[in-house]
Chains A and B, each alone.
Chain A
Amino acid sequence: SQQGEEDPQALSIQEGENATMNCSYKTSINNLQWYRQNSGRGLVHLILIRSNEREKHSGRLRVTLDTSKKSSSLLITASRAADTASYFCAFDSWGKLQFGAGTQVVVTP
């Protein structure tokens, strides 16, 4: 499959808890990006990590990248109800973005 794999497929947590999702890919990459998509809406870019980086932070987001294992993780700390959305990883292989299957996150108040 040209797509990456993500797990879990779905995640249900309470406000204040952390949410972790993982992504794996098969090809060599220039960078890996994470996006959020609210139901039926467009994509919102969250964070980009380059292939020579191992960890990156942005606000409540923490991304790791392990190129030897071809995997990445996204951690959302202190989740809020507004974080409810689908999250996709996308790996950039020479300008072409291939998306993971996505993780549907539901944060309940």
Chain B
Amino acid sequence: GAVVSQHPSWVICKSGTSVKIECRSLDFQATTMFWYRQFPKQSLMLMATSNEGSKATYEQGVEKDKFLINHASLTLSTLTVTSAHPEDSSFYICSAPPPTPRYETQYFGPGTRLLVL
């Protein structure tokens, strides 16, 4: 079956630094990918929709200059947390819908745990 990978699986960084998280679709092309954030003991919150070859669309309340998304190819989307602060510590998960059929199950990456000190 289709697989979505994320790298790194976990990262610890100092406050003020930027962190890049990669999301790859391994055996299918994804023109759209989604990024979620999950705080401890909470649900997943959709952050943004990553669109190949065009700008990402962000959900209300998500700072686009803080969370930079680049969908440079049909198999790779990256999320960069710029000038990370401790409150950005979270579990970041990406997903990609299969090319067909539409509106069916999405494939989720295993997640990236970010800890900002």
Chain A interface residue number, banded: 20 to 34
Residue interface bits A43-56, CB-to-B below 8 A is 1, else 0: 10100100000000
Q: By the criterion CB–CB under 8 Å, are A98 and B46 in contact?
A: yes
Interface residues on B, range: 20 to 34
Chain A residues near B41: list those with CB within 8 A: 104
Known: A3-B43, A3-B45. A95 touches B32 (CB 8 A): yes
C-alpha gap A93/B41 in the complex (Å): 24
Interface string of A87-109 (1 = CB under 8 A from B): 01010101111111110100000
B102 with A88: CB separation less than 8 A: no
Q: Is A68 an interface residue (CB 8 A)?
A: no
B42, B46, B91, B109: the one contacting A97 at CB < 8 Å is B46
Q: Is B43 a contact of A95 with CB atoms below 8 Å?
A: no
Known interface pairs A96-B34, A97-B34; A33-B44 also in contact (CB < 8 Å): no
Contact B46 A45 (CB under 8 A): no
Query: Looking at chain A's contact residues, is the secondary structure mostly helix, strand, loop, or mixed?
Result: strand
A47 to B101, CA, bound (A): 16
Bound CA–CA A95/B49 (angstroms): 10
Q: Is A73 an interface residue (CB 8 A)?
A: no
Any B CB within 8 A of the CB of A18: no
Top 6 closest pairs, chain A to chain B, by CB = A42-B110, A30-B103, A99-B44, A43-B108, A99-B43, A102-B43
Q: Chain B: residues with CB nearer than 8 A to chain A? A: 32, 34, 36, 41-46, 49, 59-60, 91, 93, 95, 97, 102-106, 108-111, 113
Residues of A within 8 A of B (CB): 2-3, 30-31, 33, 40-43, 45, 48, 88, 90, 92, 94-102, 104
- A–B complex contacts, Cβ < 8 Å, 7 sampled: A3-B45, A40-B91, A42-B111, A45-B105, A95-B32, A97-B95, A102-B43
